Amino acid sequence: MGADRVVFVHGSGSFGAAAWPRQHGLSIDFDCLYVRRHGFSATEEPAATDHGRDQAIVADALGGGGHVVAHSQGAVAAMMLAVECPDLVRSLTLVEPACFSLTAELPATAAHIALMEPLYAARDAMSDDEFLRAFVRRVFDADARTPATGDARRDAARLRLQSPPWEAPLAIVPGVPTLVLTGGWEPLYEEVADYLAGTGAIHRVAPGGHRPHDTAEGDALIRAFLRADRTRAAA
């Protein structure tokens, strides 16, 4: 029997294998694939969010089935696929999941939506750079750098095209073993994690901001969860 398949689904920043630098070593024990969501390319023009296309990309990568590790907005398509095709997804690891449609009525998520909704409503009248600056200011309370390279300009254009996560058609939590990994820096993501923990998920915190999987502690938690599931399956 071959190694278990693990499909990695990126968020809204870097994509493919570049989004998972700490996890490359998992290829020693697992059959790892690092997908690119719809509209993410180093050469093609960015495209708007398409959850259906993202699900199809992940499903195709899973083949006969396996584990899914997803970050931020990538967690939306991962969860939707696990709900629709539970036979394909053996386990879910959700890193800082932007599954805000599940928690839209809870305090931190509601405050985030109230802050961000006017920005998304005005984005068609904004340049990519204007949207990027406003987005970073609202989400991270920081100033964004002006995109100076072709890749950076594509990233800014892609960000403006992404659909608000709270509008994703996600209302049901899949009944598969799930690890939720957060960075402990933002109540918004902790609220989503607590909600999922209430449905049976394991919630762990590894200080590392929005990318806790880039830390040694976060990476170790992901590896331990994947190996524990393999041990349970063997037993």
Final residue of a structural domain among 140, 161, 182: 161
The pLDDT of residue 233: 61
Give the structural domain span for 180: 5-102+168-234
Whether 11 and 33 map to the same domain: the answer is yes
Mark the ranges of the chain whose per-residue pLDDT is less than 50.
none
234: three-class secondary structure by DSSP: helix
Count the domains in the chain.
2
The pLDDT of residue 117: 97
Whether 223 and 113 map to the same domain: the answer is no
Question: Cα–Cα distances in Å, from 209 out to 19, 168, 212, 224, 226?
Answer: 15, 24, 6, 21, 22
Whether 91 and 16 map to the same domain: the answer is yes
The pLDDT of residue 108: 98
Whether 199 and 116 map to the same domain: the answer is no
- Is the Cα torsion angle 107, 11, 96, 51 positive or negative in sign? positive
Asked if residue 227 lies in contact with residue 177, where contact means CB atoms within 8 angstroms, the answer is no
Query: What is the number of other CB atoms lying within 10 angstroms of the CB of residue 160?
Result: 21
Backbone phi and psi for residue 205, each to the nearest 5 degrees, phi listed first: -120, 130
Whether 227 and 117 map to the same domain: the answer is no
How far is it between the farthest Cα atoms of the chain?
Answer: 57
The pLDDT of residue 3: 87
Asked if residue 78 lies in contact with residue 173, where contact means CB atoms within 8 angstroms, the answer is no
Could you read off the pLDDT of 129-155 as tens digits, one per residue?
999 999 999 988 888 888 878 888 999
The pLDDT of residue 1: 52
Provide the CATH number for the domain around residue 70: 3.40.50.1820
The pLDDT of residue 230: 65
Could you read off the pLDDT of 182-200 as tens digits, one per residue?
999 999 999 999 999 999 9
pTM: 0.94
Whether 15 and 81 map to the same domain: the answer is yes
